[in-house]
């Protein structure tokens, strides 16, 4: 039953508008009909000229049946053979290029359908970093292939920090996560990029993908070029660009204390007063600027408010470009607080922090999780983490469209679900 359902689904896809296949099949059928007419005219002249065919020809061509019946039989057989021939021809020619996954090989028509459908999707720019941005990308890539992910370059912790200090390059960690999120290759390849070396040696703690990007940067001589080439290796759907090409450091003032470096900011229970970049004149990447101005839909978040979202918005010229863009702008609020950054924050608190840093009226829509039922993980509860609450009365003071929907992951209930989030964005914002 399952095989029959899959087969019927593939047949329906052949007749879906926009594949750019049926028009050429129709032209092919017209060509075959014209050739058949040519052969028919020749045979008619042969018959009228007195040609004599052997007796077995009459039996083979079913001349003992009425002409209408013969026409229907030969026509149906011809169409069936043409369809079979082109199906097998497509498999033979395109077989080496078919995408393979855990569930086997996708059909040719399914790949064509996905390619055409995604090519028609909106031009989306996603801004952020870390786990939040990669979560969004995993869901949104199912609706459009026109994606540009703009990634923060302020990360200085873990493997990225070690590579950044040693080689003075942009941190590769967030770029690696975006690459694997947008990848269309076999799952084994994405697992390879995410594989983190163990042990106590010099490679300990480094994900393979970080080292791959670093090696590619040395080969190509340019970090941006390295990201593009790495994307080709993973068959990435979309582009990934840094928000700025400068080597920047994220700093924060917490009371009388100055914290330097992204990894040192989320520490303790004190509320962060302000974050800023050093140097403050790090200009927006021209490639990111062009993508924003060309976008139809811009999504900021989810992600760490102070260490993933604001580092992008604080880049010199970024907010001005966002305001100049005609795109619909969406802010995705986190589903739970983050230790050291947004513990106890409401939705309005998130928006107020952004307004205090870069000004207000930046977004058209705010997406808020409405499903509070799934319990947070025990480790999160032990750390005092709570859900991000929607303060309706305070939120109503801002001219924003709030979309309350179930976007929480049932597997990791402190994070967004990629499919739920993408569905809400595409069905309720981009419609």
pLDDT per residue as tens, the chain (431 positions)? 544 555 555 556 555 666 566 677 778 778 888 888 888 788 777 767 767 777 777 777 777 788 788 788 888 888 888 778 877 776 666 665 555 544 444 556 666 667 777 888 999 999 999 899 999 999 999 999 999 999 999 998 888 888 888 888 889 999 999 999 998 866 777 788 889 998 888 888 899 999 999 999 999 988 999 999 999 888 898 999 999 999 999 999 999 999 999 999 998 888 999 999 999 999 999 999 999 999 999 999 999 999 999 999 999 999 999 999 999 999 999 999 999 999 999 999 999 999 999 999 999 999 999 999 999 988 888 888 999 999 999 999 988 999 999 999 999 999 999 999 999 999 999 97
Beta bridge partners of 299: 126, 330
Residue 158, helix vs strand vs coil: helix
Strand pairing class (297-300; 328-332): parallel
**Residue 302 preceded by cis peptide, ω within 30:** yes
Write the DSSP string, 213-224: HHHHHHHHS-HH
- Could you give the CA distance from residue 258 to residue 126 in angstroms, rounded to a whole number? 30
Residue 185, helix vs strand vs coil: coil
**pTM score, whole prediction:** 0.80
Angle (nearest 5°) at CA 396 between 391 and 399: 130
For residue 279 the two structure tokens come to 């140097």
For the chain, domains (ranges, CATH) are: 2-86 (no CATH), 121-152+282-431 (3.40.50.10680)
Is-contact 94 106, C-beta < 8 A?
no
Residue 292, helix vs strand vs coil: helix
**Residue 174 preceded by cis peptide, ω within 30:** no
């Amino acid at each position: 039953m399952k095989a029959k359902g899959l087969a019927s689904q593939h047949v329906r896809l052949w007749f879906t508008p926009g594949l750019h296949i049926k028009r050429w099949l129709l032209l092919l059928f017209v060509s075959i009909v014209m050739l058949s007419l040519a052969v028919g005219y020749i045979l008619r002249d042969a018959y009228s000229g007195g040609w004599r065919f052997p007796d077995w020809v009459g039996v083979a061509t079913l001349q003992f049946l009425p002409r209408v019946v013969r026409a229907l039989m030969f026509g149906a057989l011809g169409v069936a053979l043409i369809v079979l021939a082109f199906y097998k021809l497509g498999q033979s020619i395109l077989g080496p290029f078919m995408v393979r996954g855990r569930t086997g090989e996708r059909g040719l028509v399914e790949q064509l359908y996905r390619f055409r459908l995604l090519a028609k999707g909106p031009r989306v720019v996603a801004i952020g970093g870390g786990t939040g941005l990669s979560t969004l990308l995993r869901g949104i890539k199912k609706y459009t292939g026109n994606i540009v992910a703009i990634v923060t370059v302020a990360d200085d912790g873990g493997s990225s920090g070690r590579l950044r200090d040693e080689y003075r390059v942009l941190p590769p960690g967030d770029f690696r996560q975006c690459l694997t999120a947008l990848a269309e290759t076999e799952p084994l390849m994405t697992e390879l990029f995410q594989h983190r070396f163990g042990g106590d040696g010099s490679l300990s703690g480094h994900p393979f993908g970080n080292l791959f990007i670093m090696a590619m940067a040395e080969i190509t001589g340019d970090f941006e070029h390295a990201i593009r080439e790495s994307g080709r290796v993973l068959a990435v759907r979309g582009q990934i660009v840094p928000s700025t090409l400068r080597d920047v450091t994220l700093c924060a003032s917490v009371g009388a204390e100055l914290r330097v470096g992204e990894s040192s900011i989320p520490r303790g229970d004190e509320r962060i007063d302000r974050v800023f970049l050093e140097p403050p004149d790090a200009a927006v990447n021209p490639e990111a600027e062009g993508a924003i101005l060309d976008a139809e839909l811009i999504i900021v978040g989810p992600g760490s408010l102070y260490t993933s979202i604001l580092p992008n918005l604080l880049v010199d010229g970024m907010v001005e470009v966002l305001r100049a863009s005609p795109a619909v702008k969406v802010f995705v609020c986190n589903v739970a607080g983050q230790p050291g950054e947004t513990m106890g924050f409401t939705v309005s608190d998130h928006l107020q922090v952004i307004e205090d840093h870069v000004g207000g009226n930046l977004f058209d829509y705010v997406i808020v999780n409405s499903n509070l039922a799934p319990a947070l993980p025990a480790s999160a509860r032990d750390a005092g983490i709570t859900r991000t609450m929607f303060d309706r009365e305070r939120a109503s003071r801002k001219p924003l469209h709030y979309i309350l929907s179930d976007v929480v992951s049932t597997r990791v209930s402190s994070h967004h679900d990629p499919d739920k989030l993408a569905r809400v964005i595409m069905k309720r914002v981009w419609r």
